Amino acid sequence: MSTTTRIIGLSLLALVACGGDPDPASRITSFRTIAMRATRVVQSDTCDVGLVPAADARPGLPPKLGKTKCEIPGSYAHPGDEVQLELLWHDPKNAPREWMWSTCVNPPSTSVFGCFQKLAADIGKLPPDQRGQFFINNVRQRPGAIAKTFEGNELASDPASDPRTLFRVKVPADALSSLPAEARAGASVGVIFFACPGKLQLDTAFGSGGLRNALPIQCIGADGKPLGSDQFTIGIKRLFLRAAEENTDPRIDAVLFDGKPWDPAEVKDVQAVCDSGEARFDRCGDPKHDITLQLAQPFKQSGKDELGATFEEQVVIQYYVTEGLFEYDVKRAEDPKTRFAGRREKLGDQTMWIVIRDSRGGVSWVTRRFRVVPG
Amino acid sequence: MLRFVRPRGGMFAAMLLAGSLAASAARAQDTGKTLPGPAAKPAPVPPKIKTKVEPVYPPEKLAKGEKAVVKLELTIDATGKVTNAKVEESGGADFDAASLEAAAKLEFEPATLDGKAIPSKIPYRFTFDFKDVPKEPDKTDTPEDVAKVGSFTGTLRTPADDLLGGAKVTIASPDGKTQSAMTDAKGAFTFDKLLPGKYKVRVEAVGFVPFDAEETVLENKRISVVYRPRLTGEAVDIEVKGERPPREVTVHVLDNKEITRIPGTNGDALKAVQNLPGVARAPGLAGILIIRGSAPQESNIFIDGTLVPIVYHFGGLSSVIPSEMIERIDFRPGNFGPEYGRVTGGIIDVGVRSPKKDKFHGLLQFDLIDGRFIAEGPIDKKTRVAIAGRRSWVDAWLGPVLTAAGAGVSTAPVYYDWQMMIERDVTEKTTARLLFFGSNDRLAITLNTPSASDPTAGGDIAATTGFWRVQGRVEHRFSDTVNWTNTAAYGSDYISFSLGDLKFKLDSYPISWRSDVRAKINKDASVIAGMDFLHTAFDVTVRAPPPPEPGQTPGPFFGRPPREIVGSASLYRPAFYWMLDLQPIKGLKLLPGVRVDWFRDTQSWNIGPRFAVRYDVVQGFPRTTLKGGAGVYHQPPQPQESIAPFGTTGLGASRATHYAAGFEQEFTKQVDLSVEGFYKDLQRLIGRTATETTTAGGITYNNNGDGRVFGVEVLLRYKRDNRFFGWIAYTLSRAERRLRPEDPMTLFIWDQTHILTAIGSYQLGKGWEAGLRWRYVSGRMYTPNIGGVYDFDAGAYAPIPQVPPFGSRLPAFHQLDMRIDKVWKFSHWSFSAYLDVLNVYYRQNPEGVSYNYNYTQQQIVTGLPILPVIGVRGEL
């Protein structure tokens, strides 16, 4: 009871406190991961309708696993599946980093820290002197993991692919059957991603208590000391496991700029109408630009899942940009339009990413280029 | 010994204060009276003047035209004789001597408690005004007339000492003839040429309780009196009590007028509780009660002995029952008696007053927060009814604010509450009452722009919180020494909250029955025994990701599969209690007791022995009392924690052991001090582990937690007199907990080291009153976030909380609030207005911490700015 009251109260408090955010999530000015999408890779002599031959699946990416394999975009995986994860990220400085991918199978909680907790439990079972080695093995030789760290990446056999962007995981065949039937809604494989501007290593205090929120991995800086968690990047993606159910990703058919199609190759000119440092969209001058999407219909799914639970997806659109201000950073798919204004902070070539996510892990994105010119 | 202030005197409110205090002390000593029931204690009846004696005006003073007022304290025995008179406020030696001489000749009908005469102490005042000295016989009067008649004059004043004009004064002579007069603008009335004898006097004024007295008119004398009828709003005092004898350790008593005048509370009685020692300040806009370092859900709120789920409407703006309907508030921050249980924190029991018996009354009040009405009165000589309701206006201004912020508002935040009551004296010894009351808070908005920190917080958001109860109460007095009260209630609690596709809905149907017998065994011993039965059936629907382990951040929720659980279950929790009230020697009170609870959901009997002791080291004024107590308390798990599929079967109840010791010291009639130290040992606190891949509920609960709370509470109080009331309350405390044995003990989220409240209110005269409240509170504990983990499914960051949790404290809170009241009285009604200004000096008080998108930068979020609230009230 009091929780409800508290939520209402805090919501009102948030409203009282709202204002222009000087550091919005939508403006990407340093290294940032933006989205990760999953694609099931299945063996098939010929791809059925809805399956895309791997060679043609992602424009710009080379064939990876042979023409007899098909890629099925979607956030749900099945036991035994091989799933490819693709990361959307941006690093304006292209600084050197140590990259690491890892997984956890069926963590005790689907919250972000459940995966770390599972990793902690696994490592905690080992003698302390073996934990460091476990970490290395886990990263590089964990059963079921195909790609590991950047340097040891098995996908490097395909020289054209970027192992920082792609990662593959093999879902254990018993990942679902090993769980009680009533607990399978939480079945998942967590995919952990680290990017460290120093050297990654296992936290030596890991497993010795106080682990609930501690990260199992440390990023060591040039001075040999662990960097704060605000100085490296950690991300988690969940592959929800279902026996047969699929969750197709929502798709963007077209991006409209001031009502007109904005093709991927087209670079739009945007006048800088916001002062440098300006955080409030309503204080910017004109012109401002309408940005909206045309979504493939139906853009969201509803019904009853294979576990018998009813669901209705929420679908949201998140806008990101290297410079500029959005009127709204996040919109519901039912009302995707936002407005955008260029800022004098940084003139020249910029990038905009538009990501659409459904509430069951499905995701798609598009990238557009524009140029900020003096307004 | 009971203390009363003479009802006709100007210290009527003080009488009730003193009476309440003294009655508390008296119960440790007096004998043979019906013990008060848990909800409605028999009120002592003050002594009435039987033979009035006018003092002789000191001739020298009369010659100089000097006036004086002498205030006495009279000790009256059980026969009505004045056995002692003591000058409390001197008017000068001559006046004092004359007063004491006259006082010794006064005769009273003795005070009674449950019909039995008892000794008492009362304040009494003689006013020497040469204008009242019997004048020389008017030359137009015949000698016979002068010789055979007297006169009766008087002045009516309000409790605030303002003159009360337009009131009707009726006198009835010994032969039954009546005559009436209206008071003039100066509140004066006069009856001349009255035959000697006893006259019954009745004073009636709109907005005041009708007042009866008896005066004796003497030959060739002019009687002069001053009457101070009570305001109808003061008809029944509200007492906010700490642990109160005879069953607990300490006593804090506030009267109605104090409660409704506390700045910053909008006159809300239950919000006044927040100003007492042991009550922490709740975060801004959070309508919760934090008592002695306990979590809000560890304290229970009752309305006349029936458990209710909430005490405040949303945002803590107002309590769920209006002050005008409240008879008393029993506030027990710890060491409460065995009649209460199932929690390890504190108890608040709100007593709803009976409808007025004299005539129909009405009240209408509006302020910027809400509007309310009350109508009440008698149907016949034995039956009376009351109906009341309230609706908030917040939606009128908050709706547009939310809309301007980009939200579609279908139901702006709004709350209601209502009370309907019928009460009947079935027989002379039996009173029955039926009360229907409830509360409803709701809102529904649509956010078109989901939150960047969790896109789940978009779309439709709706919340409803409410309850209703039908409560029947029968109080039967078998004899002067045995009282039996039965209170049964049925109702519903409902909570629903939806956020996009996630929802939580709980409908519960509690049935409660409390049967309480109190009997006086002999003059030194009483027994209290009872049964406290609770059965709750509930239907619940949850559609949300299971919660993580304590200390982990639950969100973002977007992109995580919700787990939907629909179920029905019931709780059965009977309890039995016994307590003895022993007085082995004068001034010493021993209160051993025990409560036995059965919790069906945990399949366990829980035995909670409790003991309290009070000893008056110095009896009489100025009283010094030592006090102490210890007790064991059990709190069953929440339904979602113990009942499958949500919870974990086999879970046990949490347990707390309360210890308290302290003293009370009177300094003057107005000023007293209460100091109490306390320690709470918390064991078997409920923790949880995440088990989403092994259990249907996704979480497994355990009893691995423990903790402790200790501190000291100080209350220095100036009890209300004709002009002023105020107090300083200070609490120094520390609350620590851990939910896993291997973790270090850390400060609890509700730990507040220093809580200081200073309140003062002064009656300026002519209906004006002004008050100030200043509070200083240590900042709330919080767990800083030290960065974020990017959740690719939500496109948002999950904060990384620092370990151990609650390692930081917000800056201290301090705030000054101001209140001004003005009352206008008319012939048949009264009108009042108030201005309650919160945060007068515009302190930017920290209420929380906000972060940037990836939790690498934080800033303090401040609370409300200056907030003036204006209210008006009309009263019939």
For residue A15, what pLDDT is reported? 42
Give phi and psi for A128, each to the nearest 5. -55, -35
* Closest CA of chain B from A110, distance in Å: 7
> Distance between CA B130 and CA B273 in Å, rounded?
47
| CA-based nearest residue to A364, from A300, A305, A291 | A300
Q: What is the largest CA-CA distance in chain A?
A: 64
Q: How many helices (H) and strands (E) does chain A have?
A: 4, 23
Please report, rounded to a whole number, the percentage of residues in chain A having pLDDT higher than 90.
Answer: 34
Helices A128-141 & A112-124, crossing angle to 10 degrees?
Answer: 130
Comparing C-alpha atoms, which of B80, B170, B164 is closest to residue B117?
B80
Region A120-147 average pLDDT: 57
Q: Across the interface, do A235 and B791 touch by the CB < 8 Å criterion?
A: yes
| Confidence at residue B41, expressed as pLDDT on a 0 to 100 scale | 44
Strands of B187-289 (E only): list them.
188-194, 197-204, 211-217, 222-227, 240-241, 279-280
Of A197-211, B365-379, B701-715, the least confident? A197-211
Predicted confidence band of residue A8 (pLDDT cuts 50, 70, 90): very low
pLDDT tens digits, residue range B827-842?
788 999 999 999 999 9
Distance in angstroms (rounded) separating the CA atoms of residues B229 and B235: 10
**CA closest to A363 among chain B residues:** B793
Confidence of residue A10 (pLDDT cuts 50, 70, 90): very low
Pairing of strands A166-170, A82-90: antiparallel
* Residue among A24, A214, A235 whose CB faces B853 most closely: A24
| Domain coordinates in residue numbering, chain B | 2-230, 234-351, 352-376+393-875
Interface size A-B, in CB pairs within 8 Å, comes to 269
Cβ partners under 8 Å of residue A287, min gap 6: A271, A273
Question: Residue A229's closest CA among A198, A205, A207, A208?
Answer: A198
- Tell me the nearest-neighbour CA distance from A372 into chain B, angstroms: 25
Question: Does the pLDDT of residue B636 top 60, yes or no?
Answer: yes
With b for 16 or more beta-carbon neighbours within 10 A and e for fewer, the A15-38 pattern comes to ebeeeebeebbbbbeebbbbbbbb
Query: In terms of C-beta density within 10 A (0-12 exposed, 13-18 middle, 19 or more buried), how is residue A338 classed?
Result: buried
- Nearest CA to B576 among B631, B620, B525, B513? B513
Mean pLDDT estimate for chain A: 78
**DSSP H helical segments within A31-127, as ranges?**
54-57, 112-124
CATH number of A252-374: 2.60.40
Q: CB of A54 within 8 A of CB of A73?
A: no
- Residues in chain B with CB shorter than 8 Å from the CB of A205 are none
> How many angstroms separate the Cα of A155 from the Cα of each of A26, B410, B657?
31, 53, 62
Domain B234-351 falls in which CATH fold? Ferric Hydroxamate Uptake Protein; Chain A, domain 1 (2.170.130)
Q: Which two tokens stand for residue B384?
A: 């009376």
Query: Is residue B746 scored above 60 in pLDDT?
Result: yes
CATH topology of domain B352-376+393-875: Maltoporin; Chain A (2.40.170)
Q: From the CA of A337, how many Å to the nearest CA of chain B?
A: 10
Instruction: Test B455 with A357 for CB contact under 8 angstroms.
Output: yes
pLDDT > 80? residue B252: no
Which chain A residues have a beta carbon less than 8 Å from that of B800? 213, 215, 229
Pick the closest to residue B652 from B596, B709, B606 (CA basis): B606
Inter-chain touch A24–B452, beta carbons under 8 Å: yes
Among B343, B789, B806, B857, the strongest candidate for a mutation testing the A interface, having the largest count of A CBs within 10 A, is B789
Residue B391 vs residue A206, higher pLDDT: B391
Say which of A2, A23, A180 has its CB closest to residue B853: A23
Query: Could you tell me how far CA A325 lies from the centroid of its own chain?
Result: 22
Check pLDDT > 70 for residue A200.
Answer: yes
Each residue's pLDDT tens digit, A228-279: 877 889 999 999 999 999 898 999 999 999 999 999 999 999 999 999 888 8
Least confident segment among A63-67, A134-138, A269-273, B191-195: A63-67
Cβ of B285 and A110 within 8 Å?
no
3-state helix, strand and coil shares in percent for chain B, rounded to the nearest 5 = 10, 55, 35
E-assigned strands of B573-603?
Answer: 575-582, 588-599
H helix or E strand, kind and range, residue A340:
strand A338-343
Check B693 against A179: CB less than 8 A apart: yes
When CB atoms are compared, the residue of B310, B564, B802 closest to A1 is B310
Q: Which of A313-317, B19-23, B255-259, B543-547 has the highest mean pLDDT?
A: A313-317
* Residue-level pLDDT at B160: 59
Please tell me the number of Cα atoms within 13 Å of A64 on its side-chain side.
Answer: 29
Which whole number is the average pLDDT over A45-52? 54
Res B546: pLDDT: 85
Of B501, B548, B645, the CB nearest to A109: B548
Instruction: Kindly indicate the confidence band of residue A96, based on its pLDDT and cuts at 50, 70 and 90.
Output: confident
- Domain B2-230 in this protein, CATH class: mainly beta
Residue B211 or B701, more confident: B701
Which range of A72-86, A309-323, B312-326 scores highest in mean pLDDT? It is A309-323
Contact state of A318 with B452 under an 8 Å Cβ cutoff:
yes
* Segment B66-112, tens digit of pLDDT: 778 888 888 888 888 888 888 887 888 888 888 888 888 888 888 88
Nearest residue on chain B to A236, alpha-carbon basis:
B791
- Residues of B whose CB is below 8 A from A21: 852-853
Q: Which amino acid is at B637?
A: P
B281, B265 Cβ separation under 8 angstroms:
no
Binary contact (A109, B692; C-beta < 8 A): yes
Supply angle C-alpha B798, B803, B807, rounded to 5.
Answer: 105
**Which residues in A lie closer than 8 A to residue B698 (C-beta atoms)?**
109, 183, 185-186
Q: What are the domain boundaries of chain A? A: 89-241, 252-374
